[in-house]
């Protein structure tokens, strides 16, 4: 559930910032990039956590993270269904640095719970993510993503502003009611045209 102010407030420990990504654990989804970013940022930002949700080679990624000494900062809950919205609602930033993508539902779900978004310029992301609601970078833009996660981690005000915008945008444009209205308009145009 979206908080009354439209922002999904984290239930992590005081001062903790949780970055979440949902999708297959693979190169194509930018998961290696997020691990590299965590290696850069976790030593300098106390309480920064990464939650990488999805199936695939979970054990491979867990071992890689353990070898980096970041098992306490990067977690892999695996495939989740019932837990997905709880994990989104208890996060602070949604990152989706994919190299190839269409329009993932997880992006819209993150918006619906009021998370600021950092994503790449692939697929339809540029149609959904703009300055008011997130940051968008070229695929492989590790330096830019690092910069934007740092910016959002350091500013609760910016996270909340983007989160409120996303919650409103998701309700206005991507809810079942608004989608059904748009489909109805298309049918009316086709029948009358």
Q: Is 159 exposed, middle or buried (0-12, 13-18, 19+ CB in 10 A)?
A: buried
Query: Token pair for residue 151?
Result: 């910016």
Predicted pLDDT of residue 22: 93
Tell me, yes or no, whether 10 lies in a domain. no
Tell me, yes or no, whether 29 lies in a domain. yes
Mean pLDDT (whole number) for 14-26? 89
Tell me, yes or no, whether 1 lies in a domain. no
Read off the pLDDT band of 72 (50, 70, 90): very high
**Strands across the sheet with 93-96, in order?**
74-78, 48-53, 17-22, 93-96, 117-120, 134-137
Q: Please say if the pLDDT value at position 177 is more than 70.
A: no
Contact 113, 88 (CB under 8 A): yes
Tell me, yes or no, whether 78 lies in a domain. yes
Tell me, yes or no, whether 84 lies in a domain. yes
Domain count, the chain: 1
* Nearest partner of 19 among 104, 118, 126, judged by Cα: 118
Tell me, yes or no, whether 111 lies in a domain. yes
Which residue segment(s) compose the domain that 93 sits in?
Answer: 17-192
Average model confidence (pLDDT) across the chain: 86
Distance between first and last Cα of the chain: 41
DSSP 8-state code for residue 80:
-
Tell me, yes or no, whether 9 lies in a domain. no
Predicted pLDDT of residue 173: 72
Tell me, yes or no, whether 181 lies in a domain. yes
Note the pLDDT tens digit of each residue in 96-154. Answer: 999 988 777 888 899 999 999 999 999 888 888 888 889 999 999 999 999 999 999 99
Q: pTM, whole model, 2 decimals?
A: 0.84
CATH number at residue 73: 3.40.50.2000
Predicted pLDDT of residue 170: 83
Query: Token pair for residue 147?
Result: 């910069």
Distance CA 139, CA 118 (A): 11
**What sign does the dihedral 23-24-29-34 (CA atoms) show?**
positive
């Amino acid at each position: 559930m979206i908080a009354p102010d439209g922002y999904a407030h984290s239930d992590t420990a005081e001062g903790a910032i949780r970055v979440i990504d949902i999708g297959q654990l693979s190169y194509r989804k930018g998961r290696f990039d997020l691990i590299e970013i965590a290696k850069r940022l976790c030593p300098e930002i106390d309480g920064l956590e990464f939650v990488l949700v999805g199936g695939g080679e979970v054990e491979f990624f867990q071992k890689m993270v353990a070898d980096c000494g970041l098992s306490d900062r990067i977690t892999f809950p695996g495939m989740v269904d019932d837990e997905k919205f709880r994990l989104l609602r208890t996060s602070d930033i949604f990152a989706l640095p994919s190299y190839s993508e269409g329009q993932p539902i997880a992006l819209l779900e993150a918006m619906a719970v009021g998370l600021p978004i950092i994503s790449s310029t692939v697929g339809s992301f540029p149609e959904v993510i703009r300055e008011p609601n997130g940051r968008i970078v070229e695929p492989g833009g590790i330096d830019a993503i690092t910069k934007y996660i740092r910016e959002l981690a350091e500013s609760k005000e910016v996270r909340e502003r983007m989160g409120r915008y996303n919650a409103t945008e998701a309700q206005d444009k991507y809810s079942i009611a608004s989608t059904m209205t748009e489909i109805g308009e298309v049918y009316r145009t086709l029948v009358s045209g």
